[in-house]
Amino acid sequence: MINQKIIQSDVLKYIDIYVLLYTLKNKCGYCMHSIINEIISSTEKRVQQLEMETNPEKKDIMREEKRDIIAAIKEKGLQKKVAVIAEVKPASPGKKLMDIQPYDAARIAKEMERAGAVAVSVLTEPEFFHGSLNNLESVRKNVTIPILRKDFIINKLQLDETRSDLILLIAGILGEELDHMVNLSFNKGFEPLVEIHDRIELERALRTKAKLIGINNRDLRTLEIDLDTTLKLAPLIKEFDLNNSSEHIIISESGLHSRQDIKKVIDAGADAVLVGTSIIKDGDIYTKTKELVDTFDEFEMD
């Protein structure tokens, strides 16, 4: 646990505040923003539909070999390139970015791979992000790099819907179920990416077997973005690994638009970045992805 190591260095008056926040979070379901609550409600309806369906063919898909994201990220570091997980993102709540059908998703993903992306993230949440399982399946058939399924996973049945190499698990939503879902993900052949936003969620993530920790710079309670979230939490993960002879891969998520943003979070300790909106909005998928992958080329020239 990180709390014994980290809290010792904190001012004592903050300890009770963290305990209080932990208690409140567990009582109020992490007090998510209303939009996030709507997404969760929509996801619950999707799960109810899954409970009424059986599709053994989908379960056979899970036996395909997993593409190694951890090795790929480490290799990028050796190449002095940024490990960019580029996202096929049709929309965010209330903001459509691009109409993306399966054919489009494959074309976009191939451009991302050609530009040097270490992996591709594919939105599969249909109502608010306009994603689809068909988009994900099309992408995975057309590229060779690892694929992350980006969705609101709240039930084990969702793990049998389709094949991906990584799957996003949001600590703030899963709460006490996080450890169970991490173990199920491993059993199903996924590499779980556990997303956290604060110390309490980080402590919970570090109690699991997950090796990938995503630091979401967006607060799901307010939807505000602050890159300092990565600057504050990444060193704590590095400290934990140093003290416990462990190794985690840190991925900074949300609010990353420029090379300056990328350098900021990498310098803070992030091993990779997940970027969606800025790549899709740019229009030139290849050029924008390559610009971010080659971030350090610019700063070496300065």
Question: What is the set of active-site residues?
Answer: 87, 89, 150, 195, 216, 253-254
Compute the distance between CA of residue 98 and CA of residue 102 in angstroms, rounded to an integer: 13
Residue 197 is given by DSSP the state -
Alpha-carbon distance values, 256 to 160, 272, 289 (Å): 31, 12, 12
As given in the structure block, the two tokens for residue 154 are 């709240």
| Contact of 185 with 159, CB cutoff 8 Å | yes
| Contact of 292 with 82, CB cutoff 8 Å | yes
Alpha-carbon distance values, 281 to 91, 102, 115, 254, 288 (Å): 10, 18, 16, 14, 10
> Helix, strand or coil for residue 244?
helix
* C-alpha 98: how far from chain center: 21
| Contact of 22 with 175, CB cutoff 8 Å | no
Residue 177: count of CB within 10 angstroms of its CB: 15
Name the nearest CA neighbour of 290 among 84, 75, 76, 73: 84
Residue type, 262: I
